């Protein structure tokens, strides 16, 4: 089996791996100024996408810009999320060199899409493929690929612990080769219940003092997780941004959500912001949580809320995940000021950061890989892939960290 790494090797973003020159796993983009895409535009016979985040699914329509019409295989939520992201990318970058696809290409995606549930084996481009729950976001999958000679398990992004929105991964299909993500290979997450309790206590304190809490959150996964927490603790909340539509979409695929009844309750509990008649300005005076995109303050309605609440020290901004270097969220944490529309504004409101990660941490990765001591491990999707591969090797694994552009022959 030949594995060609076209993106996401020794980095996070633009994941793309070509198997046996025929089957493409993921085709993502790295958001940024400018956005980055995989190092090559392959011409696969078929495409398999593991989950609906930008760095795994964001560039898929570009594969249909020529004459080729490879089928695209994914779970139903991944399909919906990929289309949502593609339309958003068109809105941000459409018609410029920063966007490698057009509206027509996005429409073609719907024509070649083939959806599959977990544990339903299908055949494509000469390979048998099976998805299993990866516990990262709804619809996220580990991808098992069998070419008749070797069985490859591409973990994609995964979490071993339960979140409110999705259950952790439990599937451990037999495999000879593992491509394993390593986003948090040197991190020990605080227990989710502890993070949640600290978060809830902090939000409740602010609301009790009459303040407003802005909760920046990614649209996909994190927004719904925050709404589930608000409902569970009866925290009055609003939801704004792309996360609104994603929440409604996920309710159409209850089998990919851990507790659909809870998500339905969370949706009714949250007030959806329409933005009409100055609603955004008005609700920044209310003692409520406002769950809104973007998670790293790089756009979205958060850009309206932060200036409105920033000068009152009773108010609070609770970031809900890791802030990538160079993002306004990171700047806010480090300098206490926010950059909005090119203006640097001091923030007197309290700023806090919580680690609601949807990835396995060091222990989770090791526990997962312990089931694969005889397999060949290829580490990808991380800032320290080589270091993690070296740790695994020291512990007796056959592990390495390929680079972008490298072709690895496995299972011989
Ligand atoms: Zn992801």
Taking the centre of ligand 1 as the mean of its atom positions, its distance from the CA of residue 358, in whole angstroms, is 8
Residue with tokens 């719907």: 110
Taking the centre of ligand 1 as the mean of its atom positions, its distance from the CA of residue 156, in whole angstroms, is 8
Taking the centre of ligand 1 as the mean of its atom positions, its distance from the CA of residue 407, in whole angstroms, is 24
- The confidence score (pLDDT) of residue 342 equals 84
Alpha-helix runs per DSSP H in 274-355:
279-283, 302-309, 328-335
- Binned at pLDDT 50, 70 and 90, residue 322 comes out as confident
Taking the centre of ligand 1 as the mean of its atom positions, its distance from the CA of residue 305, in whole angstroms, is 26
Q: Estimate to the nearest angstrom the gap between the alpha carbon of 373 and the chain centroid.
A: 28
Taking the centre of ligand 1 as the mean of its atom positions, its distance from the CA of residue 359, in whole angstroms, is 8
Taking the centre of ligand 1 as the mean of its atom positions, its distance from the CA of residue 184, in whole angstroms, is 12
**The pLDDT of residue 100 is above 90:** yes
Mean pLDDT of 378-407: 98
- The confidence score (pLDDT) of residue 183 equals 96
Q: What is the rounded distance in angstroms from the CA atom of residue 221 to the CA atom of residue 358?
A: 8
Taking the centre of ligand 1 as the mean of its atom positions, its distance from the CA of residue 314, in whole angstroms, is 34
Taking the centre of ligand 1 as the mean of its atom positions, its distance from the CA of residue 200, in whole angstroms, is 25
Q: Estimate to the nearest angstrom the gap between the alpha carbon of 101 and the chain centroid.
A: 21
**The pLDDT of residue 412 is above 80:** no
**The pLDDT of residue 21 is above 90:** yes
Long-range contacts of 147-151 (CB under 8 A, 24+ apart): 147/1, 147/19, 147/20, 149/1, 149/411, 150/1, 150/176, 150/177, 150/410, 150/411, 151/175, 151/176, 151/177, 151/411
- The confidence score (pLDDT) of residue 270 equals 98
% of the chain at pLDDT higher than 70: 100
- The confidence score (pLDDT) of residue 411 equals 85
Phi/psi at 266 (nearest 5 deg)? -65, -35
∠ at Cα 312 (311, 313), nearest 5°? Answer: 115
Window from 86-90, 229-233, 341-345, 349-353 with minimum mean pLDDT: 341-345
Q: What is the rounded distance in angstroms from the CA atom of residue 106 to the CA atom of residue 83?
A: 7
Mean pLDDT of 26-42: 92
**The pLDDT of residue 360 is above 90:** yes
- The confidence score (pLDDT) of residue 326 equals 84
| Model pLDDT for residues 275-305, shown as the tens digit of each residue | 999 999 999 999 999 999 999 998 899 999 9
Q: Which two tokens stand for residue 33?
A: 């100024």
Mean pLDDT of 81-96: 94
∠ at Cα 115 (113, 116), nearest 5°? Answer: 155
| Model pLDDT for residues 38-56, shown as the tens digit of each residue | 999 999 999 999 999 999 9
Taking the centre of ligand 1 as the mean of its atom positions, its distance from the CA of residue 105, in whole angstroms, is 23
Residue with tokens 């070419």: 147
Mean pLDDT of 72-78: 98
The residues near 327 (Cβ < 8 Å, ≥ 6 apart) are 296, 297, 298
Q: Which residues pair with 131 in a beta bridge?
A: 143
Q: What is the rounded distance in angstroms from the CA atom of residue 102 to the CA atom of residue 100?
A: 7
Taking the centre of ligand 1 as the mean of its atom positions, its distance from the CA of residue 45, in whole angstroms, is 24
Taking the centre of ligand 1 as the mean of its atom positions, its distance from the CA of residue 349, in whole angstroms, is 30
Q: What is the DSSP letter of 290?
A: E
| Model pLDDT for residues 145-165, shown as the tens digit of each residue | 999 999 999 999 999 999 999
Q: What is the rounded distance in angstroms from the CA atom of residue 181 to the CA atom of residue 156?
A: 6
Q: Which residues pair with 292 in a beta bridge?
A: 216, 240
Taking the centre of ligand 1 as the mean of its atom positions, its distance from the CA of residue 321, in whole angstroms, is 13
Taking the centre of ligand 1 as the mean of its atom positions, its distance from the CA of residue 61, in whole angstroms, is 18
| Model pLDDT for residues 156-208, shown as the tens digit of each residue | 999 999 999 999 999 999 999 999 999 999 999 999 999 999 999 999 999 99
The residues near 268 (Cβ < 8 Å, ≥ 6 apart) are none
pTM of the model: 0.96
């Amino acid at each position: 089996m030949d594995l060609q790494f076209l993106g996401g090797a020794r980095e996070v973003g633009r994941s793309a791996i070509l198997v046996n020159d025929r089957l493409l796993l993921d085709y993502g983009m790295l958001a940024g100024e400018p956005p980055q895409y995989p190092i090559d535009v392959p011409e696969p016979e078929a495409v398999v996408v593991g989950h609906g985040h930008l760095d795994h699914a964001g560039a898929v329509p570009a594969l249909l810009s020529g004459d080729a019409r490879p089928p695209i295989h994914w779970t139903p939520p991944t399909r919906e999320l990929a289309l949502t992201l593609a339309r958003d990318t068109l809105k941000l970058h459409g018609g410029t060199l920063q966007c490698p696809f057009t509206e027509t290409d996005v429409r073609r995606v719907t024509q070649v899409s083939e959806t599959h549930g977990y544990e339903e084996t299908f055949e494509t481009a000469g390979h048998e493929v099976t998805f299993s729950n990866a516990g990262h976001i709804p619809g996220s999958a580990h991808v098992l690929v069998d070419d008749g000679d070797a069985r490859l398990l591409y973990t994609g992004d995964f979490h071993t612990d339960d979140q409110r929105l999705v259950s952790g991964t439990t599937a451990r299909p037999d495999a000879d080769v593992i491509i394993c993500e390593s986003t948090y290979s040197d991190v020990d997450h605080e227990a989710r219940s502890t993070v949640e309790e600290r978060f809830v206590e902090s939000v409740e304190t602010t609301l009790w003092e009459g303040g407003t809490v802005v909760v920046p959150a990614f649209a996909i996964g994190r927004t719904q997780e925050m709404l589930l927490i608000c409902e569970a603790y009866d925290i009055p909340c609003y939801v704004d941004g792309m996360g609104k539509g994603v929440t409604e979409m996920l309710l159409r695929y209850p089998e990919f959500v851990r507790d659909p009844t809870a998500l339905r309750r969370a949706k009714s509990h949250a007030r959806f912001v329409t933005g009409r008649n100055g609603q955004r300005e008005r609700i920044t005076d209310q003692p409520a949580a406002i769950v809104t995109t973007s998670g790293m303050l790089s756009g979205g309605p958060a850009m309206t809320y932060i200036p409105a609440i920033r000068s009152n020290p009773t108010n609070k901004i609770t970031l809900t995940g890791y802030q990538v270097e160079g993002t306004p969220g990171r700047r806010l944490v480090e300098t206490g000021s926010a950059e909005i529309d090119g203006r640097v504004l001091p923030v007197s409101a309290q700023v806090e950061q919580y680690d609601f990660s949807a990835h396995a941490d060091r222990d989770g990765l090791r526990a997962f890989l312990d089931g694969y001591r005889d397999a060949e491990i290829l580490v990808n999707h991380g800032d320290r892939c080589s270091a993690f591969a070296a740790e695994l090797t020291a512990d007796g694994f056959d592990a390495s960290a390929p680079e972008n552009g490298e072709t690895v022959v496995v299972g011989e």
